Amino acid sequence: MIPAAFDYAAPESAGAALEALRSHDNAVLLAGGHTLLTALKQRQSRPGLVVDLRNAGLGRLEVDGVGDLVIGARVTQQYLADFCAREGWPVLAEIGEKAGDPMIRARGTFVGALCAAEPGGDWAAGALALGAMVRVLSGEGEKTLDYADYLERKAEPHIVLEASIPAKLRAAPQGYTKVKHAAIGWSVASLAHVETEDGPRLAASGALERPRRLEAVEQVATASKVPDLPAIDDALSALTFTGDRYAPADWRRRRLALLVRDHLHTQSAKEPT
């Protein structure tokens, strides 16, 4: 790999990393690097400064005092997956088996995946379904945002210090189903589902411009536990779908609708009668 030349810094604190990020008008953050390094390799990304978080701490992974799962910016996907499988955070454990491959999970970070929010990103869909929060450090100081809001608002230089998963959904019925792209392993249609007292929380990735909650589908699924395909398809109609030669947008939309139908049917069948 021969990227275009850039300066490199590995500050020893999140604050120093933010300062470095703000000091340069073309600086990027490096955590696990699985989004950035690919772009660097192809010279699609030409940063003036790469700010590496490797020395900045941010490796926290624990259940905090109120029972929320807290995941630091440098926690790798595999480390998180193992923790979740061991400690009982089911949908994240399941995504850990389906996201990327062992090499990607070994280097890629969970928070990095949330920040990149790649169209086919698995973790972002899971985080949206789980109602994840992110703690953000910016020039205005620290604040905690709903991850879905963060995706809408992120702009100024900032660092996501950690993400947290609310305790209240830990034991809820949940699951993740995925259709993989044959070329690149990303999802072409996937669905994260968490069943709450208020109804299902559904988030999709792969078929859309970026992972997102499927609020309209949630309404349909709340009205009927096992909605039919036309109803689901209608609920997806307002969304913009993307595709490629292998999996065109129209097909991804149909595939996602089927995925939603089948997933909800499966979940419904699991419930005690």
Partner 1 sequence: MKPENPYAGELAEPEGWVGRAVERLEDERLLTGAGRYVDDITLPGQLYAAFVRSPHPHAVFSQVDTMAASDAPGVHLCLTASDFDDLPHVKPNWILPRSTPRGRPILAKGRVRYVGEPIAVVIAESAAAARDAAELVEVDYDPRPFVLHQDEALGDSAPRVHEDMDNNVAATFTPGNGGFDEAASAAPFRTRFSLRNQRLVPFSIECRAVNADHDPASERMTLHIAHQLPHMARRMVAETIGFPENRLRVISPDVGGGFGPKMHIYQEEAVCALASMRLGRPVKWTERRSENVCNTTHGRDHAMSIDVAADEDGTLRALRIESRANIGAYMSSMGSGIPTINVGLFVMGVYEIPAVEVDIKCLYTHTPPVDAYRGAGRPEASYVIERTIDRVAHELGLDPAEVRRRNFLTEDQIPRRQPTGAMIDSGRYHHTLDEALERAGYERFRREQAEARERGELLGIGIAHYTESCGVGPGQVQKLVGFDRGGYESARVRMTSDGRAIVFSGSHSHGQGHVTTFAQIAADELGISPDRIEVIQGDTESVPQGVGTFNSRSVPVGGSAVKVAAGRVAERIHKLAAHLLQIKPEALIREGEVFGSDASNDTLTFAEVCHAAWTGHNVPADLGVGLEETEFYHPTAMSAPYGAHVAQVRIDGETGELELLRYIAVDDCGKVINPLLARGQVHGGLAQGIGQALWEDGMPEDDGSTILDTPVPRFDMLPRFETAHTVTESWTNPLGAKGLGEAGAIGAPPAIVNAAIDALWHRGVRELDMPLTPARILAALDAAKGHGA
Q: Which residues of the shown chain bind partner 1 in the complex (CB under 8 A)?
A: 2, 4-5, 42-43, 179, 181-184, 244-248, 250-251, 254-255, 258
CA-to-CA distance for 61 and 234, rounded, in angstroms? 40
Side chain identity at 96, as an amino acid letter? G
Q: Quote the least distance from Cβ 105 to partner 1, whole Å.
A: 15
In our burial notation (b when 16+ CB lie closer than 10 A, e otherwise), range 95-133 reads bbebbbeeebbebbbbbbbbbbbbbbbbbbbbbbbbbbb
Asked if 74 and 59 count as a contact pair (C-beta separation under 8 A), the reply is yes
Where helices occur in 99-144 by DSSP H, the ranges are 102-107, 110-116, 122-130
CA-to-CA distance for 117 and 72, rounded, in angstroms? 17
Q: Which of residues 64 and 246 has its CB atom nearest to partner 1 in the complex? A: 246
Q: Which of residues 201 and 253 has its CB atom nearest to partner 1 in the complex? A: 253
Q: Quote the least distance from Cβ 188 to partner 1, whole Å.
A: 9
Q: Which of residues 156 and 244 has its CB atom nearest to partner 1 in the complex? A: 244
Q: Quote the least distance from Cβ 259 to partner 1, whole Å.
A: 9
Q: Quote the least distance from Cβ 233 to partner 1, whole Å.
A: 12
Q: Which of residues 196 and 242 has its CB atom nearest to partner 1 in the complex? A: 242
